[in-house]
A and B are shown apart, each in its own frame.
Chain A
Amino acid sequence: MSHAEPQSFISKYIFSFDHKVIGIQYMITAIVMALFGGGLALMIRTQLQHPEMGLFAPEAYLSYVTMHGTIMVFFVVSMAISGFGNFLIPLQIGARDMAYPFLNMLSYWTMVPACLIMIASFFVPGGAAAAGWTMYPPLSAVEQTVPGSGIGTTLWILGMALFIASFTMGGLNFLTTILNCRTKGLTMWRLPLATWGFLVATVLGLLAFPPLTSAAIMLLFDRHVDTSFFVTDMVINDQLLNLGDGTPLLFQHLFWFLGHPEVYVLVIPPLLMTMDIIPVFTRRPAFGYRQSIWALGVISFLSMIVWGHHMFVTGMNPYIGKYFSIATVIITAPFAVLGVNLLASLWRARLRPAVPMLFALAVISAVGFGGFGGLFLGTMVSDIYFHETYFVVGHFHLMIGTVTLLGIFAAWYFWFPKMFGKKMDENLGRWHFWLTALPMIAIFLLMHLQGMGGMVRRTFDPGTYEYNAGMNMALRFPITIMAYVLFIGQMIFFWNIVRSLKRGEPAGENPWDAATLEWITPSPAPHGNFGAALPVVSCGPYEYSVGEDGFGYLPQSGGGEVAVHSPASAEEREETGGTDSGETGA
């Protein structure tokens, strides 16, 4: 639907219908929540580093662990992805806005109370939820089992309900817009990979979240109206509670039915944004575009039928366990296709090592290190040893922490000029890069080693166990140091944002010489995006290395006319050892 250009401050920046503003709102909120989630991480690390100092109580620690996970997964990574999706999709498909701008605004303003409720849950009696972000009943259902399973958990459930509602509204917008509002000439096979990533993740999320909603509702009922979907008779503190004859495992099935696709909802958009960014800085077409899309489809389908690999040791039928293992490890195949395509896109590249590209390259390495850890967990026999150890913590952080955040940072530096009209500072960007990529890979690789040593997760004081003494305990120190280094790196990032917004180098329309549609609009992109006439697409999104001398590129809406790369800046010439345009070699 159309909307006229907003005039008042409130309609421009608060209750905006404009996808670009909404996208930036999501991103800013994600940054705020990241400060909470990251702060919780630092408290966790500090407790683990010095359990003998008695800095935190066990109930506080467990609530930090629980809320760190919840906030980071849903209110940071997922929200950041929503931010980029909102900003990019209409621009990349040549539309003026999303299909339902009002619904879009509603989705953001449903998210805000969800965030507030999550934060508020720390300040109620009993504190925030403390049963782990996975919130398994009976621990999460029965108040007496752990502090935090009182009001804190009820608030958690309400916050999640609002989050899911917001995600659903946003997802419906993404889906309808991508499928139906593409500009003339933009077939699905000419869509940029970033938009493909949002499409696939949206479909997955829309199909996977509802069973979690059903589990959350049943948990709420068990907690407040005495049903027994998940709870059984129990004895707590010598008190017999007749709670019924429910099935705790049912919750796990429903939770992980969402939980597993959810990790792909988190990983796929940053990975695909990375694949979108790389061709711009190699000046080569993306390798295996169609194969990557087919691989995505296979990954998505498989991801919905393998949730049981989170439950190998629950005592389920071993034949079913074997099935889940066989199916799970198949996913490594399409993932390897994505990995190979990422690598092959670098073949004979004419590298421009700008900051977005540095992050993109680090994504490739991180996927290599982190992805293969999944094999140890997907293979049912080895999972017996690694389940609930730091191997799991290291693996999922490396994938949905490191890989996603490095991809999100690549996207941030890349599309920042389009969002705000300025470029982020390159030098500060490089500092941020090193102080992020290095710690984020090191920390979680080291946690894999702690997992090798059998160190169990969610443990308030790992020193209680003698087998942890030695290597497991010793590894805490470099991990904690790196965590603080990572924190410092993000301070540099925030400083760069503030500085660049105030006095950053103004960016032109297309500072990166990129071919996709968002780069033909002014920077920052204005209301309505494309001026009087919508673009018409005549080619794919990565037509680099074309033209007589092989040094031109085809903008998607350029009508087939070869564009030339702009002359390299003095910096770039110095860094890359020569000019970068129109040369025929020396």
Chain B
Amino acid sequence: MNGITAEQQSACNRTLLAALVATVVMLFTGFAAAYLERSTSGATWERIKLPPLVLVNTAILVASSLALEWARRHDGRGNKLGIALGFAFVIGQTAAFFQLRAAGVFVSSNAHASFFYLLTGLHAAHVVGGLIALLAAVRKPRLMQFARTFWHFMGGIWIYVLAVLTVL
């Protein structure tokens, strides 16, 4: 062993996760602050219409978290479903991007569109990281609790991003 006990290693993993969550929160807070500044600055501000696919994707993401929670109480059955739904979310978000482009809404179309692409894209990138963690956890089950917590957290961030884009 590295001289630290299994308990210490587990505590390290918890601290790592907490710190990672804190930095991601700060990242999205930075963007939210930018969004708030822009939306209240008095310059032209026109919200784009979000493709309905985005709501479907949201449901898929929530379902994936639920699947992981189910798996937690049922001996790991459901983890693979959760991961599959996670992939579906990323694919769905990419499809939503293409839908928007087809409708003529690009990242540079207006400020709201810029934030949409930016926040959604960044979130999806972090989701990919979460998927990698989940896949690793399938092979090393004692990591699953951390991967799952991070996954739920990314779900929370998605709700947060949606709220910012629609309400703020």
Contacts and interface: CB of A to CB of B under 8 A. Distances in A.
Touch between A and B in complex, CB under 8 Å? yes
B113 to A, nearest CB: 9
Interface in B1-33: 1-4, 8-9, 11-13, 15-16, 19-20, 22-24, 26-27, 29-31, 33
Nearest to A225: B107
Contact of A229 (B2, B20, B24, B38): B38
27 contacts: A95-B4, A99-B4, A99-B9, A100-B12, A100-B16, A171-B19, A172-B19, A177-B12, A179-B11, A179-B15, A180-B8, A206-B22, A210-B26, A212-B30, A214-B31, A215-B30, A218-B34, A225-B107, A228-B108, A228-B111, A229-B38, A245-B43, A245-B44, A247-B38, A253-B37, A254-B34, A528-B3
Interface of B: 1-4, 8-9, 11-13, 15-16, 19-20, 22-24, 26-27, 29-31, 33-34, 37-38, 41, 43-44, 107-108, 111, 114, 118, 122
Given A206-B23, A212-B30, 13 more contacts: A1-B9, A96-B4, A99-B4, A179-B11, A211-B27, A214-B34, A225-B108, A227-B107, A227-B118, A244-B111, A250-B38, A253-B33, A528-B3
Contacts of A534: 3
A126 B34 CA distance: 30
Given A218-B34, A227-B114, A176 B12 contact: yes
A3 interface: yes
A510 interface: no
Contacts of A253: 33, 37
Contacts of A96: 2-4
B15 A176 contact: yes
Contact of A180 (B15, B33, B37, B111): B15
Given A180-B15, A245-B43, A97 B2 contact: yes
A32 interface: no
A200 B72 CA distance: 36
B107 A247 contact: no
B11 to A, nearest CB: 4
B19 A176 contact: yes
Contacts of B22: 206-207
B30 A214 contact: yes
A2 B41 contact: no
A528 B2 CA distance: 8
A261 to B, nearest CB: 11
A386 interface: no
B37 A250 contact: yes
B104 to A, nearest CB: 14
Contacts of A176: 12-13, 15-16, 19
Contacts of A206: 19, 22-23, 26
A213 B19 CA distance: 16
B15 A175 contact: yes
